[in-house]
Chain A
């Protein structure tokens, strides 16, 4: 990306990231407050439902950022991650009311929230050239727990949605019809779950490799002030 364009957009990007960061902080704060108010973690989804939907969908912009070059991540990986999150948010959790009170929803919401807070802090501080080592370390270490946690939450939620989808025929088209086409959402969800098997290890090991690259040269980097 030409450096002139980078210079012009970096101010805007920082603002963008700070806004993304604050939104996820809003979700985190919302979660904590609701938990304290209710005394239990059931049904916490409802307290952050709207912000979650809007912020996760807003993350579609992330793909654009990668494509244009503001963010150094790969378009394919980021696109894939954002799409899977948008899918979980709208096509599973929002669409199947019965799973909204499941604990698995909370599991992936917490995982996403913590991940995104760390990630956006990382980007914001990087752009400001004031990256505390702690944030860099956190970004490349917390994923060890957060990734499996998020994946477990996502898979359990999809699994919980299956019987309701089958019963109501949600998003499904049956034969006969004039376009001679059919689609079974229930089978589709099962295929999505199976696709995690080849895909999740790839993403996980990609992060591990990134970690070696970034944190491996600890001796060369001093804490950036």
Chain B
């Protein structure tokens, strides 16, 4: 920094303190914004600012795809992506992966140009992530499916079972209970997607929606077929088994919801900050003492309850596959917590207390 710009900084800091003293704290986030409040400051700013040149190369072919000159030092990767999008409209920002190294990790949208290890001519490598779809869209689609599909089997829509059973209802009250529980579960998930969850990533690859929907919709149809079948056999231990199963299911649904709320409250709206989750006043969150991802623990519990309630092998299979996938996710999350936070509690396991 030159002597004149250092002097200017000092001036701006003083000016900023004055304004803060007058009560302008909510308007002025930091002192550098004061520089631009005066036209003089702005002229100096433009004169003394080092503009960057950015060139973007294809990570595989090393072809020069884009050259941007006069990029401000405090430009973010997100802004650079928007500029790149202008010259290549088929690559919207969500499908751009910008990195410093062709085989390196993607840079984050929030990363600022001048804080990156680049010279005044920055070279970035671009990789096309393929067509992207928003997480919200995927979640809503994959959860709406099971909700509707199960109901189709419950109401015994034609062409599923023998014609004499069309639009009849099951004579077993556990079948009605199971329908309520299953529907409640997916309505809860839909509402959480709309109002509770705060997603780190905006988008995922488009092909995921086909993969995910096949999984959820396929399993829902398979389970619903047997539970709502005219030849369905209720649980062996009757009312006792069903009552216990319902208690487990409801307990874990409340638990799962409590964890989602607790995780949401860790993160201010619109931000992507990551913090260690801790138990709150809600007893359902005390499981954070023992587990990194209690939302998965409670989810497993819910489905175990549902399996017990319906005593249906396909439900057990769905629970098992879900458990395997959630364990993989929980272990990954646990590992990234450990990597990111030095003081991460050592008592915690990824998904099952002390076991897994």
Residues of B within 8 A of A181 (CB): 226, 312-314
A3 to chain B, nearest CB (A): 25
Whether, in the assembled complex, B193 has its beta carbon less than 8 Å from a beta carbon of chain A, the answer is no
Check A179 against B231 for contact (C-beta < 8 Å).
no
- Which residues of chain B (310-330) have a CB below 8 Å from chain A? 310-314
Interface residues of A (CB under 8 A from B): 175-182
In Å, the complex CA distance between A186 and B202 comes to: 46
Collect the chain B residues with CB atoms within 8 Å of residue A178's CB: 233, 236, 311
Q: Tell me whether B51 is interfacial, beta carbon within 8 Å.
A: no
The total number of A-B Cβ pairs within 8 Å is: 29
Binary contact readout B230-241 vs A (1 if CB under 8 angstroms, 0 otherwise):
011100100000
DSSP majority for the B interface?
loop
Inter-chain contacts of B227 with A (CB < 8 A):
180
Q: Say yes or no: is B334 at the interface (Cβ < 8 Å to chain A).
A: no
Chain B 273-284 near chain A by CB (<8 Å), digits 1 or 0: 000000000000
Is B85 an interface residue when CB atoms closer than 8 A count as contact? no
Q: Are A175 and B313 in contact (CB under 8 A)?
A: no
25 contacts between A and B (CB under 8 A): A175-B226, A175-B229, A175-B232, A176-B232, A176-B233, A177-B233, A178-B233, A178-B236, A178-B311, A179-B311, A179-B312, A180-B226, A180-B229, A180-B232, A180-B233, A180-B310, A180-B311, A180-B312, A180-B313, A180-B314, A181-B226, A181-B312, A181-B313, A181-B314, A182-B226
User: Please, how many angstroms separate the alpha-carbon atoms of A175 and B312 in the complex?
Assistant: 12
Please, which residues of chain A bring their CB within 8 A of the CB of B310? 180
A102 to chain B, nearest CB (A): 34
Question: Which residues on A sit within 8 Å (CB–CB) of B312?
Answer: 179-181
Chain A residues with CB below 8 A from B231, complex form? 175-176
User: B281-323 CB contact bits vs A (8 Å, 1 = yes)?
Assistant: 0000000000000000000000000000011111000000000
Distance in angstroms between the alpha carbons of A178 and B314 in the assembled complex: 12
Chain B residues near A180 (CB-CB < 8 A): 226-227, 229, 232-233, 310-314
- Determine the chain A residues whose CB is within 8 A of the CB of B229 once the complex forms: 175, 180
Residues of A within 8 A of B226 (CB): 175, 180-182
User: Shortest Cβ distance from B182 into chain A, in angstroms?
Assistant: 15
A177–B310 CA distance with the chains assembled, in angstroms: 13
Give A179's nearest chain B residue, CB to CB.
B313
Q: Kindly supply a per-residue 1/0 record for chain B positions 44-73, scoring 1 wherever the CB is within 8 Å of any chain A CB and 0 otherwise.
A: 000000000000000000000000000000
CB distance from B210 to the nearest CB of A (A): 16
